[in-house]
Amino acid sequence: MSQAKTGFLGPLEAVDSCCWRIPKTYRADMRVEGLIFADADMIGQIRQDQGLEQVVNVATLPGIQKASLAMPDIHSGYGFAIGGVAATDPEQGGVISPGGVGYDINCGVRLLRSNLTWDELKPRIRDLVDKLFEHVPTGVGQSGKYLFDKPKLKKLMEQGSKYVVDKGFGVARDLDFTEAGGCLDDADPDRVSDRAYTRGYDQCGTLGSGNHFLEVQVIDRILDPEAAEVMGLAEGMVTVLIHSGSRGLGYQVCDDHLAMFRDAPKRYGFTLPDPQLACAPIQSPEGQAYLGAMRAAANYAWCNRQLLTHQAREVFRMVFGKRWESLGLDLVYDVAHNIAKFERHHVNGVEKLVCVHRKGATRAFPPGHPEVPPPYQAIGQPVIIPGSMGTASWVLAGQAGSMTRSFGTSCHGAGRVMSRTKAVRLAAGRRIDQELDAQGIIVRARGHKGLAEEQPAAYKDVDQVVNVVDHVGISKKVARLRPVGVIKG
């Protein structure tokens, strides 16, 4: 039988109750071992997917350090598995791979808290969700009301979130609680194609489609009272979770550079087991060009989430008749989960600068790390893990184990267990919106197909995923948030 039908047939060795090893001896071209964080119940399902073979493929990349890693939400993606993590050393011929970042560059999530309670929101939840759907652009190709011509886009991609905050679409505090301050240095908008500029003109401040959403939630459980208090979270509190990325601009940047990288392995004298892993040495002209463009697209994504935040705040103002500041709609944190960043990590006892690819994976820096905002220094960086429309999301805090085990990384969501095609078949004759409504979750979307693709059954149990990263000491559980209203493309 073919590998595609049988899943992963290679060896999996138990390291501990929530970590599994694919030994380097499995394939002659592996430079490092593969490590997968999952419990015994999950690993059987993970074996059925092609993600583990992609973990092996990533282990062949030049300059890869320690291990090719996968989080418990792993499932197959383009080149890299979603949930995949890899660090490469530029001083050892390490490569940069667009497939290790993803098409939606800096897809990420941000969480807003409020001083509203569920009792205060409940009578207005339908009106709130309807108005969010009316005023926040969602769906494939949807245009927004914020238009940026090429000179403005260039400044936006150089400055990141600060560019739109300075125009009145947020406050300085928003920048303080955004990963990297909402801006990657050394972005190079000149490496972004005219086609990408065209696609980015009217999409900043739009949700897009697929698994992107804006969700109104209620905190139903506090697991770590001390960390929750530092983050300003309390049981019964209404929160807002926003999930989107760099839209068509980021997609185009990825597409353009994959084409540029197609022949790079041959030029630089190495081979790859999968053409989707197309990559180039970090220090090569191709590698530097992609890094400059990828950073520019990442900065666009942070501006997109900042403008979505502004629009959400405006809708709350309309519904409740109070300024958003009076409603306490402050940013808890914003994290990227499709990005490559240069960070200092210990490898075999030596601290070195490496390029960490996080593909559907979230940074999870521990207490005391210099990149954690000062108010969170004692508890660690907030880690935000969305579930599906019908299941809870989680807030965690990064722990010291992430630095020793996963290059400062945690999972990014529940992770799919079902293709979109299969999910649509499963939903035939059903109304997912009505099913969710019966559970007390108000959903608005552009069409039934998108809801069918994103139905809760298409995803793993997010509670189980989060239990794994908590158990292995990568990030610890702080608060659980249940959805009450969702808008999607």
Q: Dump pLDDT digits (tens) for 50-72.
A: 999 999 999 999 999 999 999 99
Which CATH number goes with the domain that contains 159? 3.90.1860.10
Q: Does the pLDDT of residue 208 top 80, yes or no?
A: yes
Q: What is the pLDDT of residue 167?
A: 98
Residue 118 lies in a domain: yes
Percentage of residues in the chain with pLDDT exceeding 70?
99
Residue 287 lies in a domain: yes
Q: At 177, phi and psi to the nearest 5?
A: -115, 25
Residue 422 lies in a domain: no
User: Annotation-wise, does 413 bind a ligand?
Assistant: yes
Containing 234, the helix (H) or strand (E) segment is: none
User: Annotation-wise, does 415 bind a ligand?
Assistant: yes
Bridge pairing between strands 67-75 and 33-37: parallel
Catalytic residue among 135, 412, 448, 471: 412
User: Annotation-wise, does 320 bind a ligand?
Assistant: no
- DSSP class per residue in 445-485: -S-HHHHHHT-GGGB--HHHHHHHHHHTTSEEEEEEEEEEE
Q: Tell me how far CA of residue 125 lies from CA of 32, 90, 113, 206, 324, in angstroms.
A: 51, 51, 16, 22, 17
Q: What range defines the domain where residue 35 resides?
A: 3-417+459-488
Distance CA 305, CA 333 (A): 12
Residue 339 lies in a domain: yes
User: Annotation-wise, does 97 bind a ligand?
Assistant: no
User: Annotation-wise, does 260 bind a ligand?
Assistant: no
Q: What is the pLDDT of residue 454?
A: 87
Q: Tell me if residue 412 is catalytic.
A: yes
User: Annotation-wise, does 115 bind a ligand?
Assistant: no
Confidence band of 455 (pLDDT split at 50, 70, 90): confident
User: Annotation-wise, does 102 bind a ligand?
Assistant: no
- For 92, other C-beta atoms within 10 Å of its C-beta total 14
User: Annotation-wise, does 341 bind a ligand?
Assistant: no
Number of structural domains (the chain) is 1
Confidence band of 2 (pLDDT split at 50, 70, 90): very low
Q: Does the pLDDT of residue 427 top 90, yes or no?
A: no
Residue 428 lies in a domain: no
Across the range 181-189, mean pLDDT stands at 98
Q: What is the pLDDT of residue 1?
A: 30
Say if residues 315 and 123 touch (Cβ distance below 8 Å). no
Containing 340, the helix (H) or strand (E) segment is: strand 338-347
Distance CA 314, CA 482 (A): 23
Q: Does the pLDDT of residue 12 top 50, yes or no?
A: yes
Q: What is the pLDDT of residue 7?
A: 87
Mean pLDDT of the chain: 95
Across the range 344-371, mean pLDDT stands at 97
| Nearest of 341, 297, 313 to residue 165 by alpha carbon | 313
Q: Which region, left, alpha or beta, applies to residue 460 given φ > 0 means left and ψ of -120 to 50 means alpha? A: beta
Confidence band of 5 (pLDDT split at 50, 70, 90): low
Across the range 212-230, mean pLDDT stands at 97
Across the range 99-121, mean pLDDT stands at 98
Say if residues 90 and 355 touch (Cβ distance below 8 Å). yes
Across the range 395-409, mean pLDDT stands at 98
Residue 68 lies in a domain: yes
User: Annotation-wise, does 310 bind a ligand?
Assistant: no
Distance CA 186, CA 342 (A): 12
- For 82-185, strand residue ranges (E) read 82-88, 95-96, 108-112
User: Annotation-wise, does 243 bind a ligand?
Assistant: yes
Q: How many C-alpha atoms does 457 have within 13 Å on its Cβ side?
A: 14
Residue 436 lies in a domain: no
Percentage of residues in the chain with pLDDT exceeding 90?
88
User: Annotation-wise, does 386 bind a ligand?
Assistant: yes
Binning the chain into helix, strand and coil, the percentages to the nearest 5 are 40, 25, 35
Confidence band of 76 (pLDDT split at 50, 70, 90): very high
pTM above 0.85, yes or no: yes
Across the range 311-324, mean pLDDT stands at 98
Residue 355 lies in a domain: yes
